[in-house]
Amino acid sequence: MPSYADDDDAIDYENEMPDFQDEAEFDDYLNDEEFDLMNELFPKAKKEMQEYQGWDNLAVKLAIFDADFNLDEALTELRKAYKKKKKQPIAAAQPLNPPNGMYFAWRFEHFIIA
Residue 25 has pLDDT above 80, yes or no: yes
Enter the pTM of the model: 0.63
> Per-residue pLDDT tens for 57-97?
999 999 999 999 999 999 999 999 999 888 766 655 555 56
Counting every residue written for the chain, the total comes to: 114
Handedness of CA 36, 38, 41, 44 (dihedral sign): negative
Could you give the angle at the alpha carbon of 40 between the alpha carbons of 37 and 41, nearest 5°? 90
